Structure 1
Amino acid sequence: MTGPAKILLRGVTKSFGPKKVLQGIDLSVAPRESVVVIGGSGTGKSVLLKCILGLMQPDSGSIHVDGEETTTLANRERERVMRKFGMLFQGGALFDSLRVWENVAFGPIQSDGMAPQKARDVAMAKLGAVGLGPEIGELFPSELSGGMQKRVALARAIAREPDIIFFDEPTTGLDPIMADVINDLIVKCVSDLGATAVSITHDMASARKIGHRITMLHDGRLIWQGPVGEIDRSGDPRVDQFIHGRAEGPIRMQVRKL
């Protein structure tokens, strides 16, 4: 990475009681770079994302966004930093009681005070950016397929044209073809915005497609980092086991016996 980091973590730790979830995380993300964090369920990927977002306070360490320490910010200052962020949640997290366009326009209206008619125009434009026509904007989320709901969630994530976009398991629950459609849309939207992206996933097809760089989280530590094209030559048996989905290897899944 050259130049100042867009996001910089140093020595970030987080525990819940005796369970050490993050154990000294060091991570740099360059402007316009797309970094994907892979790892099994329960390895701390979501906790890491929440710490960067400011939804969770780390026990120690520093998190800088655009060179600014964010772990010590007061509420008003944190809100200012949060305006830089867009987020695609794992389940979409759409509001069932709002029409599609109102979901997409929620941030511009509620956070930016944009007039509803102008926000509606923005929402329709963002729906178009993810391949959905204006007629979809008048529907409710319950009237859409899972893949269309994910597109709407992506449109909402980019509605405020954020500097940084976070993707939480963006292809979960989708069939392989729709997952690839979403991956293509993520690449396009991030590129069009010139945004920085941080994603967490256990879907290797998605990781390879949307990331410039991959890092693997295991046992609370980032055990490998490198360009997407080098992950098959990581030289780490834990990474090799994970990316090929092998039951046998150094990573042992804990299975409760009945």
Structure 2
Amino acid sequence: MATTLHTGPKIKLTEVVKRFGDKSVLDGVNLSVEPGESVAIIGGSGTGKSVTLKCILGLLTPDSGSVQVDGQEIVGARTHEMEKIRSKFGMLFQGGALFDSMPIWRNVTFGLTRGKMRRAADMRKIAEENLERVGLGRDILNLRPNELSGGMQKRVALARAIAPRPEIIFFDEPTTGLDPIRADMINDLITSLVVDLGVTALTITHDMASARKIANRVAMLYNGRIIWHGPRDRLYDSGNPYVDQFVQGRADGPIR
């Protein structure tokens, strides 16, 4: 029997609810991300952006609703099914999350080796190739993360995220801790990598410059729901008072 290829959204959330005690962090989230699309979720601190990513990765289980990747339901999936689904993802963590005890080449290839020493020469070559993609040279292969600047650490973390050639990459506040120039360099790098590698990207950020540069489409999360989504060009012309207040950074408005 021929295998039927999934032709729908790469990621689809339908009425996703997640509570912690009496607090509803997600209260009916609906979001679709198409294959090859780059979507940014914006919103204030504590609005549930990170919880949304964790529900997609299966690290948190929604109280109700559906989360699908390539049409496959994650909620209730068995362990071996989740392992296959997670293999489709790469992740750029907010703080980089590099291992200080490991040299750069082992950090970059960690997702391929799961921390085990395998074929060191091959792994070093893979690390070198991926570092080159993010504008870094082989001269840092044996250095430790604490010997690099914050911007270089971000690039190493990005090299690690793309090394397994994932189908989907999550970017968690990719410009946090960087000055405006280095942040813009990282945004440019992410944009070019997403296009070159043909991946689907989902970014969570409160950096409007980052959202406008990285994403094709932007969605705003507020009070546990997606209250607006649209092309990045409409971000500052959304017609939504909540979005307008947030992107303009005004104290006055419906967001308290």
Length-normalised TM-score, structure 2? 0.95
The alignment status of 1:141 with 2:111, answered yes or no, reads no
Aligned to 2:203: 199
Within the alignment, does 1:217 sit opposite 2:229 as a pair?
no
* Paired residue type of 1:42: G
Deviations 1:233-253 (A, max 9, x none): 21111100000111111101x
What CA distance in whole angstroms lies between the structure 2 residues aligned with 1:28 and 1:54?
17
Q: How far apart are 1:135 and its partner, in Å?
A: 0.6
**Cα distance, 1:230 vs structure 2:** 1.3
CA deviation map 1:115-137 (0-9, x unaligned): 33222211110000000000111
What amino acid does structure 2 have at the position aligned with 1:46?
Answer: S
Equivalents in 1 of 2:164, 2:124: separation in Å?
12
Please tell me the root mean square deviation across aligned C-alpha atoms, in Å: 1.3
Q: Verify the 8 A CA contact 1:34 1:213 in the aligned structure 2.
A: yes
Identity over the aligned pairs, expressed in percent? 62
Aligned length: 250
Counterpart pick for 1:246 among 236, 240, 250:
250
Aligned to 1:97: 101
Q: Is the 8 A contact 1:84 1:164 kept in 2?
A: yes
Contact 1:109 1:115 in 2 (8 A): no
1:126 to 130, 137, 141: 130
Deviations 1:186-221 (A, max 9, x none): 011111110000000000000000000000000101
What corresponds to 2:173 in structure 1?
A: 169
**Maintained 8 Å contact 1:35/1:199:** yes
Counterparts of 2:219 and 2:141, CA distance in 1 = 37
Of 73, 78, 102, the residue aligned with 1:69 is 73
In structure 2, C-alpha distance between the alignment counterparts of 1:62 and 1:68, rounded to whole Å: 10
Aligned partner letter, 1:85? F
Name the aligned partner's letter for residue 188 of structure 2. D
Q: Distance in 2 between matches of 1:162 and 1:116?
A: 22
CA distance 1:75–1:116, shift in 2 (3 Å): farther
Classify 1:114/1:33 alpha carbon distance in 2 versus 1 (closer, same or farther; 3 Å): farther
Aligned equivalents of 2:139, 2:19: Cα separation in 1: 47
Partner of 1:25: 29
Q: Distance in 2 between matches of 1:13 and 1:82?
A: 21
Report the AA paired with residue 169 of structure 1: E
Task: Give CA deviations for 1:51-94 in whole Å, capped at 9, x if unaligned.
Answer: 11111111111111011111111111111111100000000000
Distance 1:211 1:49, change over 3 A: same
Question: Closer, same or farther in 2 for the Cα pair 1:214/1:197, shift >3 Å?
Answer: same
Letter in 2 for 1:91: G
Instruction: Give 3-state SS (helix, strand or coil) of 1:138's partner.
Output: coil
8 Å CA contact 1:52, 1:63 repeated in 2: yes
Which segment drifts farther, 243-252 or 104-113?
104-113
Q: Are 1:190 and 2:194 counterparts? A: yes
2:91 maps to which residue? Answer: 87
Q: Which amino acid aligns with 1:74?
A: R
CA distance in 2, matches of 1:114, 1:69: 33
Matched, 1:109 2:107: no
Instruction: Quote the residue 1:255 is aligned against.
Output: none
Looking at structure 1, the residues matched to 79 and 118 of structure 2 have their Cα atoms a distance apart, in angstroms, of: 22
